[in-house]
Structure 1
Amino acid sequence: MSRPFLKMNGLGNDFVVVEARSKPFAPSAEDVRAIADRERGVGCDQLVSIEPSARADAAVRFWNADGEEVGACGNASRCVGWLLMEASGRDEAVIETRAGLLKATRAGERRVSVDMGEPGLRWDQIPLAEEMDTKGIELQVGPIDAPHLHTPGCVSMGNPHVVFFVPDAEAAPVREVGPLIEHHPLFPEGVNVGFAQIKARDRIRLRVWERGAGLTRACGTGACAALVAAARRGLTDRKATLELDGGELVIEWREADGHVIMTGPAEVDFTGTLP
């Protein structure tokens, strides 16, 4: 059974998007890994399916490249929002995800804003294995008396994030430390690991080791988490431009309702048929 797909990306964070509103799509973890394989499959960071929804324009499911289904993916939500708006001709779309309903709106030519909802800031929302203040948790990397990295912030954006603040994001040990922290016992569901350099009150350079996908060119929920973690510590204002390897996102943590708004591009790369 062949099935058409769209290859899309948000700042180089790439997805295979499958239309499943008329025909159900239920890939096994093995299927997901085969599709995501960059040498033998289509190749992607995440697999995304668009499914019918009783309370939104569509429901969306996300799988990481390792085959695990996850609750949220910011860049993919932006891409799906753009597709739904193009199809309907409207300037907004509502997407149902495991993490809740997300609203996407047009923000210019191939630019989309997504309301990612309120961040989860309690230790049991992340979740952590034990109670801690998520503004700065007790976790360090390196020698006890002079750790290289310490006291990161934690935020849930429908998926778990830990954010280390570093003097130089380019020099941060993302590949070395990322996998260690991703599987640290403090994070029972694993965690996405951000390395954030504060450049100004409205600018953050961010690199992300993504749970189940590794070092990615951009992580939308990671950008949201980094801005929230920075603003909670007073390191930045509540709105900033996030510089990711693949480009820039504008993130705002609204004062009025506590929601996080992510704005950035959505691109279609090519279409094809899954084997």
Structure 2
Amino acid sequence: MAQLRKVHGSENRFFLLDQTTLDQPLNDGELSALAQQVTNPKTGILDGADGVLVVNSSSHDNVLAQMRVINADGSEASMCGNGLRTVSRYLAEKNHTNQFKVETMTADLQVSRQNDLAPEVPAFSVEISPVRFKPADFPFTNLGNDALIDQPVPAFVPGLNFTAIAVPNPHLISFVDEETMNGEALGELGSRLNGVNDYFPDGVNVSFAQILGKNQLFVRTYERGVGFTNACGTGMSATSLAFAMTHPNLGQFDRTITVYNPGGMVKTQVHQSDNRYWIDLIGNATQTHLIDVDEAELHGVNVTSETASIQQTEEEAAYLKFVDQLPKVSTIAVKK
């Protein structure tokens, strides 16, 4: 038997698959098909998810394991901050260690266990890097040849300024008021820039952020390959950096920034040294279900309530209790 885990960071939900425990790892085609099947609330289990986190062995020196991120549409993301926290917890418990590196598509990232956010709400800190601004790193076109930092782009949404940051996932960020945050513009822009468009040929994650006060934000993201998510770890990280760069009187480098999202809250710290930027993302790593399934069903892309045995943990209740104690900063509902 194989085992999947249902996990989440700020209600950004995933199935976690450790391929090192399988007799035969899934190939790329099988992973893509499995992600599309199991994350779909109609064809999968447990109301679906935003993607599948895949743990593999790593050949890199001083690295504990490799993480791959397969989106709900079967595409692969270069990184996922919320997902990395949950993978880090899994690896920490499996290997009895609290500080190590994890290989991702573009970098080996430092992770570490943190103090629990609340009883039964374990937390991890993960490094978000590398940070890039050049158009070729997204890529983006028809927006000039320089970095896009706090600039108006009327073709996107008139009256809003935008910043483009790759961490390394590509992100387009705008700071907006409450009315805009709760309106239709984010969904319309996210959908448009992740279809055939003249600006981001590979698509882009789009985040709107509302400044709540000094070192405080609310962030909502339309995620490439997924759509609206309860939270996007790299999105909140990139937005925190944009906050410190474009609103230095409110967002500070090397200080803790509290970032609320539709699924809860995380903490970030943004850093700069010798023209290098990086972000520490700190938040929950919650495990809600253990799912036992025959390995043949994974290869056959057939993980359903009929083929799997599912055991629920008590951690979601603890997480929701934690969220209930947070300030109510948005009327946007959590996606169940």
2:42 equivalent in structure 1: 39
Structure 1 residue 150 displacement after superposition: 2.9
Q: Of 148, 162, 179, which aligns to 2:191? A: 179
- Which has the larger displacement, 187-196 or 237-246? 237-246
On the 8 A contact 2:52/2:70 being kept in 1, the answer is yes
1:164 equivalent in structure 2: 174
On the 8 A contact 1:84/1:93 being kept in 2, the answer is no
Paired with 2:75 and 2:53, the residues of 1 have a C-alpha distance of 12
How many aligned positions are there? 270
Secondary structure, counterpart of 1:129 in structure 2: coil
1:111 equivalent in structure 2: 123
Identity value in percent: 25
Structure 1 residue 176 displacement after superposition: 2.6
Structure 1 residue 38 displacement after superposition: 1.1
2:310 equivalent in structure 1: none
2:264 equivalent in structure 1: 247
2:95 equivalent in structure 1: 88
On the 8 A contact 1:106/1:113 being kept in 2, the answer is yes
Q: Deviations over 1:134-166 (max 9, x none)?
A: 213552357xxxx54533101001211000111
Question: Normalising by the residue count of structure 2, what TM-score does the alignment of the two structures yield?
Answer: 0.76
- Which has the larger displacement, 35-44 or 130-139? 130-139
Listed as ranges, the matches of 1:124-273 within 5 Å are 124-130=136-142, 131-137=145-151, 139-141=153-155, 148-168=158-178, 169-171=181-183, 173-183=185-195, 184-235=197-248, 236-238=251-253, 239=255, 240-256=257-273, 258-272=277-291, 273=293
- Which has the larger displacement, 97-106 or 235-244? 235-244
- Which has the larger displacement, 113-122 or 185-194? 113-122
Give the partner amino acid of 2:58: S
Paired with 1:28 and 1:208, the residues of 2 have a C-alpha distance of 25
Q: Of 74, 83, 97, which aligns to 1:67? A: 74
Listed as ranges, the matches of 1:5-44 within 5 Å are 5-23=4-22, 24-26=25-27, 27-42=30-45, 43-44=48-49
Structure 1 stretches lacking a partner, 5+ long: none
Question: Normalising by the residue count of structure 1, what TM-score does the alignment of the two structures yield?
Answer: 0.91
CA root-mean-square deviation: 1.9
Q: Of 27, 45, 53, which aligns to 1:48? A: 53
After TM superposition, which residue ranges in structure 1, 4 or more long, deviate above 4 angstroms? none
Does 1:101 find its partner at 2:108?
yes
Give the partner amino acid of 2:190: G
CA pair 195-88 structure 1, distance change in 2 beyond 3 A: same
On the 8 A contact 2:130/2:168 being kept in 1, the answer is no
Larger Rg: 2
Paired with 2:159 and 2:3, the residues of 1 have a C-alpha distance of 45
